[in-house]
Amino acid sequence: MEFPVILCVDDERVVLDGLKAQLSRQFGTEYEIEIAESGQESLELIEDLLAQGKALPIIITDQVMPGIKGHELLQKVHILSPDTLKILLTGYSDIEAISEAVNKSNLYRYIPKPWDGSDLILTIKEALKSYHQNRELEEKNHLLEQQNNKLEQMVQARTEELRLEKEKTESLLHNILPLEVAKELLETGKASPARYDEVSILFSDFKNFTNIVATIPTKKLIFELNEIFSEFDDIMEAEGIEKIQTVGDAYLAASGLPKELDDHAVRCVRAAQKMIAFLEERNKSNAIKWEVRIGIHSGPISAGVVGKKKFAYDIFGDTINTASRIESAGEAGKINLSAYTYDLVKEHFSCEYRGKLSAKGKGDLDMYFVS
């Protein structure tokens, strides 16, 4: 029996061997784990696999490699095997490479470096599930086409079914994109990118997340994160804030787009307070005690829809990187603000000056805790 293949590409042999060992333990009973030490070697291997009729659900590649870079490799892979889901291991600083990979190779997800092993495994599990669901959906669609060709008398009923499916698609699009962006996309087939001079970025993650992941079953972990993030989503909606994405335990949201808001920073702080209050109340009756760090920074960003099949509304700019650093420099159960954001909310919230704290890649920054 031939197994589908998961391909790992990295120019560092030690990293590659470690990655193969980790994936073999997790997926080795159902998938072949292949490795390549360069982009060119991986392309030759992929051509060989496809010639043998083997399925290639996932390729995982490092971005920084000699010769063919990771995002360039994924573009070539997309031509050879469009259905293969692509995961790029990279840093936040590689935003142009990430954007190019999304637009030109239908990037499934990028994982910031250094990555957490548990997050990587979870991402791969989700990707495999998506891959197989897509294959099943394609088979079902093929059977449906055959039935429609044979049964002309069902045209009217099928038309009604398609109308309902269209409504579902529009409803789903409204859930994953800001309303104004979804409307533009549905009406024109595209969404215009935009520059925003001032928005507030909210970053959060959980204290000791790696330890929690290691001590509970995957099913329990997903249940916990789904319940927490669902509440976070409701909080963002209530405050008029756009959720951008989750990566592992990290939650990213932006206030002041696509509709500009004068009180974008105030809304973010209120949302952060509600997030902390929700977890504190939930922890009273929950065996797992979730403690969240939240950082908020304000400034200019660019935003837009990237990709052709799996639309994603994403934001770009140094403001996001700084917000991430503000969050990392915070403490569990606290809301950490940059000086920029503090100036926008100081008339609304009591804040405590923390002094100048070191932020990776940003030097020393003035930071404040919301009291």
- Profile the chain (371 residues) by mean pLDDT over runs of 10 residues: 90 91 93 95 95 94 91 94 92 76 88 86 93 89 82 76 71 61 65 85 94 91 94 95 90 92 96 97 94 96 76 84 94 96 96 93 93 90
Does the pTM surpass 0.85? The reply is no
Phi-psi region of 53 (alpha: psi -120 to 50; beta: other; left: phi over 0): left
pLDDT at residue 271, rounded to an integer? 97
Could you read off the pLDDT of 93-131 as tens digits, one per residue?
A: 678 888 888 888 989 998 888 888 899 999 999 999 999
Q: Which residues of 159-183 are buried (b: 16+ CB within 10 A; e: fewer)?
A: eeeeeeeeeeeeeebeeebbeebbe
pLDDT at residue 52, rounded to an integer? 93
pLDDT at residue 189, rounded to an integer? 62
What percent of the chain clears pLDDT 90, i.e. is strictly above it? 63
pLDDT at residue 159, rounded to an integer? 74
pLDDT at residue 106, rounded to an integer? 86
pLDDT at residue 191, rounded to an integer? 67
Between strands 194-206 and 242-247, the pairing is: unpaired
- Angle, helices 218-239 vs 117-150, to 10°: value is 80
Domain regions of the chain by residue span:
5-127, 153-191, 194-370
Q: In 3-state terms, what secondary structure has residue 345?
A: helix
CATH number of 5-127: 3.40.50.2300
Residue 11: partners with Cβ closer than 8 Å, 6 or more residues away: 37, 38, 62, 65, 66
Q: Token pair 């994953």 is at which residue?
A: 176
Q: Given CA atoms 191, 197, 198, 202 in this order, what sign does their dihedral have? A: positive
Domain 194-370 has CATH 3.40.50.2300: no
